[in-house]
Structure 1
Amino acid sequence: MNALAPAETLWRAMTPTRMLDCGMDYADILELQTLTGAGIAWDVAAEELGDRQRARARAAAEAGRVVTAEEAYLAATACYLFAQMAYNFDGPRKRELYTRLTDAFEAAGASRNPRWEHVGIPFAGGRLFGWLIRPPSPVTGTVVVFGGQSGWGPAYVRQAEALNRRGLAALLAEGPGQGESRLEGGVLLDVDVRAAYSAFVDHVLARGGLGPVGLWGNSNGGLFAGTTAASDRRVAAVCVNGGPARPRLLDFRTYAEQAAAMLGTTDTDAIRRNFDRIALKPEDRIDCPVLVLHGGRDPIVAEADQKPFLDAATHDDTTLRIWDDGEHTIYNHATERTAYVADWFADRLARRD
């Protein structure tokens, strides 16, 4: 069940544009192409690149070069992120690589002021995990950022830093079936997903001085963002980036295996029923500002798949932004996309009473 897919399959799922968006160094991407082309297993090659970056980080830290160390730890984090993505199902190897990812990310944020905070929230008999990343300046609001079937938490550090530069904090959340929340917290996608993401909102508001709260969901995370905003009136603004309102089991090996791992079953009927359970409902209404992003060349999510979020919006401030040549979640315009969304949240959260 946990066999490694062929390199060409993994390259389709983890494109260079996606790697750049998640903070991988371009030289590491090229080296990964060389190594996997030579027949080295994907996870071994990516792990080796991460280990090199981590060694560079430690040497820089010992020499007192804090900024260089932080940059290298982030580069290592990205390498480990894509190393563990080689395994869709859980097992010792995926857990080992995810631990390396988490440790490198924690080391990257150790020198920040304020230090990046590893958050654990009790939920459904387990724990939800995330990273609270705050700017040094006063906080005008917080955006909870999350992914869908793969690439969680630290994958969105560039979005967090863009939000920080605009005075917003970011909580990089790993929800049900995602990252540490699944691997260590034991929370799968069979729980009340809306309540789970509301638990992240609870955490932010309970801290004081971090609200109001927005949600930024990417890929299937866009579904989680939209449905949570429909259920939780405390959400002040929501961005859906490449998310289907009514998910379905796609005919891609990677997608199907990831969906199975998130739910904890390979029963396709059970996965389909769960997708129906967590979908946006016809009666759902979203009462806060809504931003929907779509890539015209997205092979996974069509514009029509996202239209129900716009139909559910009752607020006058509702926007659809399309990149005609955009890939899934707009990987190939990542810098522009991130700036656009961060500006959008800064405007909405700063003016919120």
Structure 2
Amino acid sequence: MTGIHRPDGGSNAPIEVLWRAMPVTRMLDNGVDYADVLAMQRSTADGIAWDKAAERLATAQLERARAAVRDGHPVTAFAAYRAAAADLLFAQMAFNFDSARKRSLYEAFTDAVGRAAALADPPWEREYIPFAGGLMNAWLLRPATEPIGAVIVFGGQSGWGAAYLPQADALLRRGMAVLLAEGPGQGESRLRHRILLDVDVRAAYSAFVSRALSVAPRAGLWGNSLGGLYAATTAAADRRVSAVCVNSAPAQPRLQPFRTFVDQAAAMLGTSDADAIQVNFDRIAFRPGVDRIGCPLLVLHGGADPIVHLDQQQPFLDAAHDATLRVWEDGEHTIYNHAHDRTAYVADWFADQFTAQQPGT
């Protein structure tokens, strides 16, 4: 099997590789201000390193937020802190392995989210969920009214937790609570608490389900990219899950011929042994004919996705008695290029599922 690049702690990927891994559509989907996207393009074209260019943009947004707080404009401050967090999210993505620089940038990202959290109404809550001798992190967002359900939203190899704040906005507006999860191998769960992808992944996300059910009567899972696999396997193992959305995930993951994918997979598992990574992928894979999804399932697919093909998602559909497939023929991976339509569609779908499951409905 192909060897894995050494975790030297630095990003030496050419700028065009970084732009392929983090295209404009993805940046907008994860909340980067469009003016910052344009500035990022100019800076990287001028030879400024990806992480430094994004960090400078975040610094400007943080200054804007602090000025708004001083002037008594909390709404503006809230938006600016979120914009800064999005810039820092992409700054740390320049580094696949857990270098000091990546940790520092991710801490700054978390701090910016925390400052926005304090200004939210209701304020967002930082969650620490015990698991496997450590802690898994999440952000809990509650609607202003009693929630009809709670959706746990998470990513795969590089987009984690508060990266999905725009999706949380849509769910909150429809009366749902949201748990933005950092699971095994993700975010601070990995960077600070060293919970890697070698644990019982189904049990890990079931721990998030338990937390969601403590604040709402029903729990749903929305997994993006490889996180969609975790969502499907958890729904198959945990009958408390009321609805599950799989967004562009392979049922049986394999190492991809892309350096970014390989390095990120190595960091999540904590090993540079390619065979060990594939063995772990096999361990956490969806099991056709064995795993059954008893709750409503929504599968999203992009026809232009270079990473996941539709036949790789078919096992999820075959395993559910109530399955819906939505395809965007020109859709990129996780449907970045139709973000507003995708997010509204999924949020409406979860609201419909929770409403239909209310007593007396």
Q: TM-score, normalised by structure 1?
A: 0.98
Matching of residue 104 in structure 1 with residue 117 in structure 2? no
The Cα of 1:3 is off from its aligned counterpart by 2.4
Alignment partner of 2:292: what SS?
Answer: coil
In structure 1, the partner of 2:24 is 16
Alignment partner of 2:246: what SS?
Answer: strand
Partner residue of 2:295 out of 267, 288, 306: 288
1:145-294 matches, within 5 Å, as 145-205=153-213, 207-208=214-215, 210-282=216-288, 283-294=290-301
The Cα of 1:185 is off from its aligned counterpart by 1.6
CA distance in 2, matches of 1:145, 1:211: 17
Matching of residue 320 in structure 1 with residue 315 in structure 2? no
CA distance in 2, matches of 1:193, 1:218: 15
In structure 1, the partner of 2:5 is none
Contact 2:220 2:350 in 1 (8 A): yes
Contact 1:296 1:327 in 2 (8 A): yes
1:38-117 matches, within 5 Å, as 38-117=46-125
Alignment partner of 1:173: what SS?
Answer: strand
Alignment partner of 1:202: what SS?
Answer: helix
The Cα of 1:113 is off from its aligned counterpart by 2.3
CA distance in 2, matches of 1:152, 1:319: 25
Contact 1:73 1:108 in 2 (8 A): yes
In structure 2, the partner of 1:336 is 341
Matching of residue 133 in structure 1 with residue 146 in structure 2? no
CA distance in 1, matches of 2:119, 2:277: 42
One-letter amino acid matched to 1:197: Y
One-letter amino acid matched to 1:295: G
CA distance in 2, matches of 1:351, 1:228: 22
The Cα of 1:151 is off from its aligned counterpart by 1.1
Matching of residue 345 in structure 1 with residue 353 in structure 2? no
Alignment partner of 1:288: what SS?
Answer: coil
* Structure 1 residues 40-71: Cα deviation after superposition (integer angstroms, max 9, x where no partner): 11101100100100110000011010100000
Alignment partner of 1:138: what SS?
Answer: coil
Percent same amino acid among aligned pairs?
A: 64
Contact 1:76 1:104 in 2 (8 A): yes
Alignment partner of 1:110: what SS?
Answer: helix
The Cα of 1:351 is off from its aligned counterpart by 2.2
CA distance in 2, matches of 1:154, 1:54: 17
* Structure 1 residues 126-180: Cα deviation after superposition (integer angstroms, max 9, x where no partner): 1100000111122100000000000111110010010000000110000000001
Contact 1:129 1:185 in 2 (8 A): no
Output the aligned Cα RMSD: 0.7
Contact 2:151 2:212 in 1 (8 A): no
Kindly report structure 1 stretches of 4+ aligned residues shifted beyond 4 Å: none
Contact 1:220 1:243 in 2 (8 A): yes
One-letter amino acid matched to 1:25: D
Q: TM-score, normalised by structure 2?
A: 0.96
CA distance in 2, matches of 1:311, 1:250: 24
In structure 2, the partner of 1:299 is 306
Q: How many corresponding residue pairs?
A: 349
In structure 2, the partner of 1:28 is 36
